[in-house]
Structure 1
Amino acid sequence: MRRRTRVMAAALLAGVLTATAAPLATAVPSAAHGEAVRSRPGDPVQARLDALVARDGVPGALAYGGGRTWTAGTAELGTDRPMVGADASVRLASDTKPFTAVAVMRLVSEGGLGLDDRAGRYLPQLADSRVTVRQLLKQRSGLTEYTALVDWASPLDEAGYLQLAIDHGQDFAPGTRWGYSNTNYLALGMIIEQVTGGDFRTYIDKAILRPLRLDHTYWPAEEEFGLRGPHAHNYGVSPADPGAGVVDVTELPGYQFGASGGLVSTPRDLNAFWDGLFGGRLLPARTLRLMTHDTSDVGGRDVYPRGSRYGYGLASFPLSCGGVYWGHGGDLPGNSVEGGRASGGRGTVTVYTTTWTAEGRPLRRVLAAADAALCAGTR
């Protein structure tokens, strides 16, 4: 989940972290903890990961691309466990949005849904709104961020959350601006359900996860807080007790993150998703081209470096070696995920950190690690 989703994560965490958060037993590892840092001198990807750990206080960091895995730090503070690899479970946060967007575009390509359909055709709450399916995909609807409006002591269903955003009023007129809001993808998940007659999770499983054999990508069950299979611990500030500082926030109510940010995957599976999407296995070429060509300039805003553009649940990031990579990013208090597939057949990469690294120097290092991995063969 990107910047505004941190509000949602904080609110949702408040309900579960009171019981699960525990103060860290040790400080974040530094370069002095040689057993926790795998160094490969002269490797630019490794150098960025090592700096995240040694200089920015990141417990663990990983990059996976081209069949190679780079790691730094530890999988669990206070232990000598090395950082996990490409088959470990990771909360995708807003990297879920591309899956939701692809599901919507499959319905569009099959004729069951129109991009310029009014969202109110499918969602009664938006019956009086001019917001279209296309504007939801592009983050140009003007729907305000619902997560900041919720009383998490009395949670609602998805329809209730959408109504909160509608009652609050638009941030701007539909189509006039770009504004990242998780409400857009909350609404898209609901539209998928109206068109298919089933849960959006079931449709994404059927349309994307199974065809690509993403066997380690899943939607958490409603009462499931932990991560399945091997995984690193995640660390961040608990909104239930911010005075405690950084604590273990591995357990989260992932089901509640929904179509905006609920998926759990692995770096290997996530790379396979990008390869499958841009390799033409999920959508007709003309549909995919629309997702990456009908875009908004978002460079210099939020987490996006200059030259970035946002399409239909996909963002482009400029590469130092020329061209771009198309992907997305996601952030929670306990982790960040970045990456995608580069133009010109230069590969695919996922970068993962076990704490939030969505601004400032840590973000620049994460983006630089992705850039170095994708540009390695061109230097």
Structure 2
Amino acid sequence: MLNKSSRPDTDKQRQRAASRLVVLALCVAVAAAALAELRRWSSDRSEARSPARIETAAKGDVRLTKLADDLIPMPAGVPSAHASTLAALPGGALMAFWWAGSRESGPDVKVYSSRLEKGVWSATREVATRESLGQALGFGIRRIGNPVAWTDRNGKVHLYVTTTGLGGWAASRIVHLVSTDQGDNFGVLRVLPMSPMFNTSVLIRTTPVALVDGGWWLPAYFELGIKYPILMAFDDKGDPRWLTRIGTRTTTLQPALAATSGTEAHAWMRDAGNEHKVQHAISHDAGASWADQPPLEMGNHSSSVAAYRLTHGGMLMLNNHVRPGDSARNVLRLSHSNDAASWKQVLDVVQGNNDEEFSYPALQQIGDELHITYTSRRQAIGHQVYRISYESSQ
């Protein structure tokens, strides 16, 4: 029999348990509503837009010769940097964007950029802050997260930035900014319409995919109670057209996309489940629907991957390979595939001690050069350049 002094504690425990059930029920309801809205939006579109035409694949394996290995300049007095993204500019220049501040989710986190021209990175520029985004949108921004960049065929640079108001990352929204002067200045265009709950609970991380009509796919993911990957298709003017879910799993996020033809495309996802492998899905109808595939035989312990279709054929993927006894993010491995099914290790871009992090990579081809950026020890953004060539497999 309980004594009287224990009853208040018991009542508090019951209240806390009831509160948890209410929160859980709310999360389930919101996730169900988001899925219903996603199905409705997907069914409303008239047709899927095909990925950009793929040139004939080069025969044999890719060979990469290192040309440069450096760090992108950091803003003065800012100790932490993460989540870089790349955008090729007309004329062969390259822009990198990333967030930096005192720590992840810190109130001083901002999006910065630097431009690479003739092998030299420019001084760091401030692109987006809580204050600048909040002023443009008309409501407060609490946190800034991952950016994603894309240059359309007219030379406009589109920058998508993850932001939150109240709550954590599960309450995030995607803000769409545009530059008409090759990244010198950006203006806020819209909050992307990606979920029925005030367009929240959606995040981004990886590079878009070009479409044959001049539009593009923006990979994204939903995260509230469950996690699942999605993509939003844009037309050649940069306006959102339709949205679809990638596969049926509820423990995958941060999809990296690549097309193998005008109708076939692949998505590789970060694994938030128990398999700890790169998860895989495929579309045979230009992104309209996606089927889950068995995971790749590549380790992935809760970290973002990057994928890229080379101009003359073949695909590259960067993932955090895990050695026995190591942490999940201290080896960044590059692999190559000609068929999106079998992958061959090319090289380890960077590897460090067990307490070091090299993660969240981005890939961009300019001519016969491959540019790779990645988070370096959470202190800076690393950058490597490789000459691309092919060797016969015979």
TM range (shorter): under 0.3
In terms of fraction of residues, the more strand-rich structure is 2
**TM-score after normalising by structure 2:** 0.25
TM-score by length of structure 1 reads 0.26
